[in-house]
Amino acid sequence: METGINNILNKLTDSEGVLGVLIADEHGLCLGARGIAKASSAGFIASIAAHAKELTELKGDAVSKDDTPTISVEYGNNTILIRSEGNHTLAVWKS
C-alpha cells in the first residue's frame, strides 16, 4: 500500500543536493521520512504549510491550484522546501 510513496521518497532522496525528504498527511502525521528528516517534524511541517495557505486565502479571491504556496526555510547552508498538494505536505531538505 505504501509502495508508491516509498518509491517517490527514494527517488527524491537520490536527487542531487537532497539531504532529506518527508511526507505528512492532513493530520500532521508522518507518511514517510528519509535522510536527515525526522518523522517527529511532520506535525510542524504540516502546520507551516497550513498557515502559509491561510495567508494566500486572505485576499478573498477563489484559490486556484497555482496559488498553493511553496515555503522555503533557510538555516545555515541548508534549505527546507515545503509544499502542500491536496491532503499531503511534502518537505525537502536541500544543501
Where does residue 43 fall: left (phi above 0), alpha (psi -120 to 50 degrees), or beta otherwise? alpha
- Closest CB to another protein among 11 and 54? 54
Nearest-CA neighbor of 78 among 88, 91, 65? Answer: 91
How far apart CA 54 and CA 9 sit, in angstroms, is 27
Least Å from the CB of residue 39 to another protein = 9
Of the candidate spans 12-20, 44-52, 59-67, 75-83, the one that interacts with another protein by CB under 8 A turns out to be: 44-52
| Chain contacts with another protein (rule: CB under 8 A) | 24, 27-30, 40, 42-44, 46-47, 50
